[in-house]
Amino acid sequence: MSAADADRRVLDEAGGLRAMTGVLAIMLFLTMLAGALGLATRNAAASLQSQLAGRLTVQIVTGDPVARDAAAARTLAALRRLPQVTRAAAVDRAELTRLLAPWLGSDGADPELPVPAMIDVDLARGDADAGAVEAAVHRISPGARVDRHAAWMSPVSGLMGSLTWLAAGLVALMLAATSAVVMLAARAGLETHRATIEVMHMLGSTDVQVARLFQRRVAIDAAIGGVVGGLAAFAVLVTIGLRVAGLGSDLLGNVALGAGDIAALVLLPVGFTMLATLAARFTVLGALRRTL
């Protein structure tokens, strides 16, 4: 039996289409989707953190419109003089009316409605300057409220972090499952072709030569499965990306993959093939040393 013939027969075939190829394609497809989810969620969390970490909203809550506007003007002027503040701007009443419209409807435009005066503040060093700015605001307007954007968005950031770790765990589990599938297939191939392998040993073949037949066959299966599974995964990711972009959501718009993320996903089938090949090699060598 030639090496090429042994290579073709080293694992069972079914209907000309290797079952191993399909299994590996599915495994890689799921692995890439999980990896893309983790990378996109990580990017969204980082973008959200960078946008909110250095932002505050100051609310001047006073029933008297005249006193409210005067306190807001004093606070705004003081904020603009602080070195920790890079930008301070009063929120226009029309903008507040638009924001309140889902809850108050047209009543939000009533000038008699006691709506707080609001000031948006951007900090130079993020949360490191928040305490000093908050203290300065309270010295000028003791009744003012200072809301840190990062504080009320921390549950969302925590959820995104948990999803990122969950995706990383899924990738690790899928890679472990792939190794287990390859090991089982290699052991099954050894048992099926035990008699052939014994004849090869008698003819002078070494364990390493026999293992190469298995690892070459698994490498081919993994490469074909990687191409099929990778193309299917990218097709799904492109479709989802186009639909997310069509929504026009600022929050969902941050759930995107960068150039480095795409490069990592492109390299994933290569690593996947190498993992399957090494799993087959070490499984076959170990089994041969123990039994043959």
pLDDT in tens, 189-248: 777 767 777 777 777 767 777 777 777 888 888 888 889 999 999 999 888 878 777 665
Within 13 Å of residue 120, how many CA atoms lie on the same side as its CB? 9
The per-residue pLDDT for 159 is 82
Least confident stretch, 23-27, 210-214, 260-264? 210-214
pLDDT for position 109:
56
pLDDT of residue 1: 44
Cβ contacts of 169 within 8 Å, gap of 6 or more: none
Q: What is the mean pLDDT of residues 145-171?
A: 80
Higher pLDDT, 61 or 165: 165
In eight-state DSSP terms, residue 116 is P
In this predicted model, what pLDDT tens digit does every residue of 100-147 receive, in sequence order?
666 666 655 556 666 788 888 888 776 667 778 888 888 888 878 888
Residue found under tokens 């990592």: 264
- What's the pLDDT at 59? 86
Please give the model's pTM, rounded to 2 decimal places. 0.68
Q: Which of 9-13, 23-27, 28-32 has the weakest average pLDDT?
A: 9-13
Q: For residues 266 and 262, give the distance between their C-alpha atoms in angstroms, rounded to a whole number.
A: 6
Report which residue type is found at 209: Q
**Distance of CA 137 to CAs 51, 68, 80, 142, Å?**
22, 14, 11, 7
Q: Is residue 7 pLDDT above 60, yes or no?
A: no
% of the chain at pLDDT higher than 90: 8
pLDDT of 77-108, one tens digit each?
A: 888 888 888 888 888 877 777 776 666 666 55
Report residue 31's pLDDT band, with 50, 70 and 90 as the boundaries.
very high
In the prediction, which pLDDT does 108 show? 52
Specify whether the CB–CB gap between 99 and 57 falls below 8 A: no
